[in-house]
Amino acid sequence: MILDATDKKLLFLLQTDSKKTTKELSLKLNLSVTAVYERIKKLEREGIIDKYVVLVNRSKVGKGFVVFCHLKLIQHTKEFITTFENEVIQLTEVIECHHVSGDYDYILKIVVKDMEAYREFLVTKLTMLQHIGSTHSTFMINEVKNTTIVAI
């Protein structure tokens, strides 16, 4: 699907605030309410709009401690990889897990309450997973930028 300038602007507005009514959007885009509505439906049908979600302020719900964990597996057989990935997906503290190239195999982004909670997580959950070789934790000091907005 080819996105024109209006679609791109619409996607930007919705990525910024999905609560905007089609009426408000129509004013910003100089279109009728229905035209906006139809464009949104098309973007949803095409799967470009993946979903509508609420973003929670993590520090206000006691999950302000963010850790990046670089992780190696002991081997790289298909079986080990799939086992590990299936298990790590289950951990709610892990909000991101990326299989990457380079010195280690995975980058994990983990959110917990504090250092004590992280230690607990590491000892009772993460290092209990099968096939883990080594882990290296890096702690977030400050969140400079964190957006879900993709500029198109």
Partner DNA sequence: TCTGAAACATGCCAGGA
Partner DNA sequence: TCCTGGCATGTTTCAGA
**Site residues (CB under 7 A) for DNA?**
6, 21-23, 31-35, 37-39, 41-42
Which of DNA, a second copy, none does residue 111 bind to, with CB < 5 to 8 Å depending on kind?
A: a second copy
Alpha-carbon distance values, 128 to 45, 55, 144 (Å): 41, 30, 32
CA distance 61 to 54: 14
CA distance 105 to 146: 23
Which of a second copy, DNA, none does residue 23 bind to, with CB < 5 to 8 Å depending on kind?
A: DNA
Which of DNA, a second copy, none does residue 126 bind to, with CB < 5 to 8 Å depending on kind?
A: none
The answer to whether residue 102 forms part of the interface with a second copy (CB under 8 A) is: yes
> Which stretch, 22-30, 72-80, 97-105, 119-127, contacts a second copy (CB under 8 A)?
97-105
CB of 135 to DNA, least distance (A): 41
Of 85, 77, 91, 75, residue with least CA distance to 126: 91
The answer to whether residue 49 forms part of the interface with a second copy (CB under 8 A) is: yes
CA distance 6 to 139: 40
Residue the block writes with tokens 């991101």: 96
CA distance 113 to 103: 29
Which residues contribute to the site for a second copy (CB under 8 A)? 1, 3, 11, 14-19, 46-58, 60-63, 66, 68, 85, 88-89, 92-103, 106-107, 111, 138-152
